[in-house]
Structure 1
Amino acid sequence: MSSHHEVEMESLISSPNLVSTPLFISDIDELQKPIFEITSPLQPSRQRRITIKVLLDIALFVILLATGLWLFANVGRSLLLKSFGDAFLITGIMLAILSIWLVLTGASMFRKINLLKLIAALIVLIIGLSLILMGNKENQLAVGYALFATALLILITKFFFLIEDEQIRIERLERELKKAKQSAGMGMALSYFYNFIVPTAANIRSMAEGHTPIDMEVSRGKFEEYQLTTDQLFVIVPRDLDGSDMKVFLKNVSSSPNPSVIQGKPKERPGNDTHRPMFVYFLEWDPAKKECDGLFDIPTIISACWDRRKHGKNDQHDTVNITDEIMIFQNQLLSLINEHPITYGKVRILSFPSLPFRFSDIKYVVTQLAHGAALE
């Protein structure tokens, strides 16, 4: 009984630290060595720099507000309430109309923020109505003025000031595109996806189609047919590199006489997206039943980040941030997987601490996810 309890305690202690996908890399506590599935793009840091343009916009707002309050300094209470009421009413009507129009016709990805804008506009509108009622003034003129001013605002913003904002946005996108073209992570993701992920996923049958036949390399150059019991391919990505040779690492853990993993090739099936099957790795295999499970791959292509960094140490114009490049690699790979009909729902990305991995951790996480357990 005590032996069984010790085994349970050892298993609990050695279990990997599973967490949900963080939003920012800066939120990851590497001391705890968390493992998580990449289900949404990662961002470098939650810190946001305030641009000069934003500061200028704030300065303009403060100047206009202070000037307006100074002009109201010698106005009577009744007229002051009416003036403020008209201002809030006009502003609320204009914002409400524009926000409703954005909700109805704007891009779906901004729908949530547009609804928040609408709520803020309604609050301003209610404040305006309250101030006008306190001043016992008619507001028909203010409503008419608000509608007229809204029409003029649309004309001005559509054909004047927003053109400049659009130019700034295009300039920013061009800078991002230039950076993406120079990124090693972007190119590696495209190469890895189309040269390995797509053809491999195309050869993996879905569970509705039956088990995928695997040519398993049971010994050097000798193959036997196994059946893959799941239809998921897991991509294991380390968050950092220390110069370790990833190919040598994989070769060592798959070598006889006591391999931690075994290699095999999914049998090719007809299709435009398939070609000569490539070796993949399996965490579990049963020689008696001829079954295998835990299909995964570690993209050794990302070791090029370390090579580029090593050779570019003396070049200030070619500095490589490995963590950023891996983040770009993961984000681009996630986007490609979710957009392609062959890989969507079949390929999953797991983020692990740097090498060397404990394959017991990989086995635990892959088993949990392959059998439908969610990361809390």
Structure 2
Amino acid sequence: MLSPNLVPSPEQISNINEQQNPIFEVTSPLEPVSQRRVDTKTILNIVLFFVLLAISLGLFGSVSRNILLHSFGAAFLIAGIIPLILTIWLVLTGASMFRKMNILKTVISSIILIIGIILVTIANEQNRPIVGYALFATALLMIITKYFFFVEDEQIRIQRLERELRKAKQSAGMGMALSYFYKFIVPTAANIRSLDDGSTPIDMEIARGKFEEYQLNNGKLFVIVPRDLDGSDMKIFLKRISSLPNPAVMQGKPKERPGNDTHRPMFVYFLECNTEKKECNGLFDIPTIISSCWDRHKNEQHHRRYTVNVADEIIIFQNQLISLINEHPITRGKVRILSFPSLPFRFEDIKYAVTQLSH
């Protein structure tokens, strides 16, 4: 039987080729196809850039080559040194969640600054006044943007947060992610021991209402999320692969850790269980809560309203979930998300992906 094609996590959901049956681990939020568009503000910024560029070239039309090189060199030098200083300062003192973006800005600013230095050097003019002007302009820019325009920046930020809040209220995926994370993932992850603490003890259900103690030899919980829904019942799929007397997976509850103040342990699905050694090597769950997206889609379709895009809602659910997992100290590094093709999918693919990434 063919193994699933494990591929690196793409940046955009449209980069996925369903025909190749790609299964990948979600390590950062994915961008839905419907959001991949150039907005009006971006277009206006591009137009403003070319207008300013055309005016500046027109003003430089009758100057000598040496003055032209010196002017362009000064422009590049100033355009590089101002954001370079500001972004380095943000890297040192700013929010950690923007550190990667600020480092990227620092690198780009450094390249622009180097180009400016080269042009000014070729022009064979004095550089100290230009550098002094750039540093003075940087100081003024910091004062203006950080203090004088502080209220305006706050208004823009509040406006953006209000838009995001309205979107969150309208999104089924956002609410489902919060519910699934705090009601299931956090208490489950809290009871899973890290490898340094040894195996996780499990109350494994070997018969209806009858439990035996097993051990989980892996400290990871894998959450399997389909990329779309077609009406297939995920609960029926899970019931089929976990039905006694010959289940493909076993259901059990990680034993509650002493001092753990989370909710009671919940049933999870375990892979590669050895009934003689009483141990398992894989742990996963499929969030059946997202099936409500399909129910809502069918209801609105029945009433001739098409407001819910099931695939986009699942992406919103998945993106919110990965953000919560990465931010929470209990789940960070312990819970991983696997993106699967649309339902129905094969149990063999689940087993292969979970066991491969568990090692």
TM-score bin, normalised by smaller chain = 0.7 to 0.9
1:160-175 aligned within 5 A:
167-175=155-163
Task: Find the counterpart in structure 2 of residue 260 from structure 1.
Answer: 248
Structure 1 counterpart of 2:90, from 105, 108, 112: 105
**Alpha carbons of structure 1 residues 224 and 124: separation in structure 2 relative to 1, 3 Å:** same
CA distance in 1, matches of 2:266, 2:54: 69
The question of 1:55 aligning with 2:43 is answered yes
Q: CA RMSD in A?
A: 2.8
Moved more, 212-221 or 95-104: 95-104
Q: Secondary structure at the match of 1:205?
A: coil
Q: Could you say which residue in structure 2 is the equivalent of 1:95?
A: 80
Partner of 2:118: 126
**Residue equivalent to 1:217:** 205
Partner AA of 2:115 in structure 1: I
- Structural mapping, 1:120-199, within 5 Å: 120-131=112-123, 133=124, 145-146=133-134, 148-154=136-142, 156-158=144-146, 167-199=155-187
Partners of 1:72 and 1:182 in 2: how far apart?
A: 52
* TM-score, normalisation: structure 1: 0.83
- Greater alpha carbon shift after TM alignment, 265-274 vs 322-331: 265-274
* Alignment CA distance shift 1:63-1:23 (3 Å): closer
Cα distance in 2 for residues equivalent to 1:161 and 1:84: 34
Amino acid at match of 1:116: I
Aligned partners of 2:272, 2:127: CA distance in 1, in Å? 76
Change (3 A) 1:358 1:82: same
- Give distance in 1, aligned partners of 2:219 and 2:134: 60
Q: Which sections of structure 2, spanning at least 5 residues, go unmatched?
A: none
Partner residue of 2:9 out of 9, 21, 24: 21
The answer on whether the counterparts of 1:24 and 1:46 sit within 8 Å (CA) in structure 2 is no
Q: 1:265 to 1:49 in 2, by over 3 A?
A: closer
Q: Are residues 87 and 154 of structure 1, via their aligned partners in 2, closer, same or farther at CA, if it must alter by over 3 Å? A: farther
CA contact (8 A) 1:216 1:265 kept: yes
Contact in 2 for aligned 1:93/1:125 (Cα 8 Å): no
Mapped partners of 1:263, 1:141: distance in 2: 73
Answer yes or no: is 1:343 the counterpart of 2:342: no
The aligned residue for residue 235 of structure 2 is 247
Counting aligned pairs with the same residue, the percent is: 64
Q: Does 1:293 align with 2:281?
A: yes
Report the CA distance shift for 1:149/1:293 in structure 2 as closer, same or farther (over 3 A).
closer
Q: Indicate if the aligned counterparts of 2:120 and 2:127 stay in contact, CA closer than 8 A.
A: no
Distance (Å, rounded) in 1 between the aligned partners of 2:300 and 2:211: 43
1:334: which partner in 2?
A: 322
The answer to whether the Cα contact below 8 Å between 1:226 and 1:292 also exists between their aligned partners in 2 is yes
For residue 194 of structure 2, what is the amino acid of its counterpart? Answer: S
Deviation of 1:308 (Å):
1.2
Task: Return the offset for 1:275.
Answer: 3.2
Structure-2 separation of matches of 1:367 and 1:150: 54
TM-fit CA distance, 1:187: 1.1
Aligned AA for 2:110? L
- AA aligned to 2:185 is I
Q: Does 1:208 align with 2:200?
A: no
Deviation at 1:306, TM superposition (A): 0.8
Q: How far off is 1:151 after superposition?
A: 4.8
CA deviation vs aligned residue, 1:247-279 (integer Å, no higher than 9, x gap): 122112211343221211222233343333221
- Give aligned pairs, total: 352
